[in-house]
Amino acid sequence: MEQPKIGYFGKYGGRFVPEMLMPALLELEAAYNEAKAKPEFWKELDEYLRNYVGRPTPLYKAAKLAASLAGGDNGNNYPRIYLKREDLAHTGAHKINNTMGQVLLAKYMGKKEIIAETGAGQHGVATATAAALFGMSCRVYMGAKDIERQQPNVKRMQLLGAEVIPVNQGSETLKDAINEALRDWVTTIRQTYYVMGSVVGPHPYPSMVRDFQSVIGREARTQILEQEGRLPDTLVACVGGGSNAMGLFAPFLDTEVNLVGVEAAGEGLITGHHSATLAEGVDGVLHGAFSLILQDEHGQVLEAHSVAPGLDYPGVGPEHASLHALERAKYFYVTDDEALNAVITLSRTEGIIPALESAHAVAYALKILPELPSSHCMIINLSGRGDKDLNIITSQLEGRL
Ligand SMILES: *Cc1c(COP(=O)(O)O)cnc(C)c1O
């Protein structure tokens, strides 16, 4: 059998970067491999995850949600839906699992400065949080348009001591911020660690971010065995870059469990205003990795759209592109409207306001639930809480609340 190439998932992945970045990536790969083999690295990270981040997050059986869909009042006769409550982690989403791991690695590497990119600001806040905790300076690149749209997160980062650097190139959003952060890294490699926010970018980021997020799936596996005495039938998670989904899926890849990723169809695929990279993307290179990307006929990367700020990325992690090609995971998409309806449904049946991103996973579950047998058991990754989205939600739902 052919040996799998390091840093590849099938034909996807790799390291497509300017030569000047190669030493930094090789240094990072070596440092991560070394830390990965050290029990004290994982012990230190685990202590922070427990006592600082608040792990393990609960696996909550959403019986009211299941019952409301079946139209009755007895949750026991309906499919069992569990919510993995990443919304209860410190800073309100799964992103902190990754930034704690990477900033701790930066400390092991003797780095003093942290850089990151951010779109909606969630990864920037999670990075600034970890940098504050470990006493490191932090620069966050953010598109000028995003800075305008996401003022609360800009203020949070500044309060945490981070410098937010506006990016005026291109569409002034996430993909341009990543380009600028990579440019910064090239010139400050010796003292700087670049914290990537999802399972994207050149090797080793997709594997490393997956490993740090896999705590979600490991906990869920233990918790579902405790509560149900068996593995679930289906896992559902939203997919932007794909880190919360990969974190949930990874510890189940060797099982028969169905893996479902849900992308943002935005205003509908035919309108062109969407972020459904796995559904509509083509093979190409974006931000240092070969994967599926949204691009026009001239090869220009398209601007992605979603009502959920964390989903509008025109690429996707290479491991998802591979799982998609292998059909080991299935990918579906839901529209802005379906996600907004799911926010209302979950809020009113369970008293949990989900992030707009997570609401995409919930919306998919709501769609297929009526067709499932009552023996079905599903885990939905509730990747974050909705407080950050209140302005968007209330303006979109005007008159319906
Ligand atoms: C950023 C974000 C996402 C999307 O990122 P992934 O890497 O696909 O997980 C999903 N949910 C929330 C709450 C986020 O903040």
> Reading across the β-sheet that carries 234-238, which strands appear in turn?
59-61, 80-85, 377-382, 234-238, 258-266, 329-335
Say yes or no: CB of residue 357 within 6 Å of ligand 1.
Answer: yes
Q: What is the mean pLDDT of residues 148-164?
A: 95
Angle, nearest 10°, between helix axes 151-159 and 122-133? 10
- pLDDT-based confidence at residue 1 (cuts at 50, 70, 90): low
What percent of the chain is modeled with pLDDT above 90?
87
> Torsion over CA of 287, 86, 121 and 110, rounded to 10 degrees?
-70
Interval 189-199: pLDDT, tens: 999 999 999 99
Interval 309-354: pLDDT, tens: 999 899 999 999 999 999 999 999 999 999 999 999 999 999 999 9
pLDDT confidence of residue 370 = 87
pLDDT confidence of residue 75 = 47
pLDDT confidence of residue 310 = 92
How far apart are the C-alpha atoms of 301 and 286, rounded to whole Å? 8
Say yes or no: CB of residue 278 within 6 Å of ligand 1.
Answer: no
Ligand 1 centroid from CA 244, angstroms:
6
Interval 96-112: pLDDT, tens: 999 999 999 999 999 99
Ligand 1 centroid from CA 311, angstroms:
7
**pLDDT reading at 146 higher than 70:** yes
Predicted TM-score (pTM) of the model is: 0.96
Active-site residue, selected from the candidate residues 29, 68, 111, 117: 117
How far apart are the C-alpha atoms of 213 and 231, rounded to whole Å? 19
Q: What is the mean pLDDT of residues 127-156?
A: 95
**pLDDT reading at 161 higher than 80:** yes
Which of 57, 83, 90, 95 best tests ligand 1's pocket when mutated (most atoms within 8 Å of CB)?
Answer: 95
- pLDDT-based confidence at residue 68 (cuts at 50, 70, 90): confident
Where is average pLDDT lowest: 61-75, 91-105, 275-289?
Answer: 61-75
Active site residue 383: yes
Interval 266-284: pLDDT, tens: 999 999 999 999 999 999 9
Ligand 1 centroid from CA 240, angstroms:
6
Active site residue 95: yes
**pLDDT reading at 229 higher than 90:** yes
Return the H-helix or E-strand segment holding 395. Answer: helix 390-396
Ligand 1 centroid from CA 71, angstroms:
31
Ligand 1 centroid from CA 316, angstroms:
12
Q: Which atom number of ligand 1 is nearest to the Cα of residue 245?
A: 9
What percent of the chain is modeled with pLDDT above 70?
98
Say yes or no: CB of residue 75 within 6 Å of ligand 1.
Answer: no
How far apart are the C-alpha atoms of 355 and 389, rounded to whole Å? 7
**pLDDT reading at 2 higher than 70:** no
Q: 195, 103 in Cβ contact below 8 A?
A: yes
Interval 22-61: pLDDT, tens: 999 999 999 999 999 999 999 999 999 999 999 999 999 9
Say yes or no: CB of residue 99 within 6 Å of ligand 1.
Answer: no
Residue located nearest, by CA, to atom 5 of ligand 1: 240
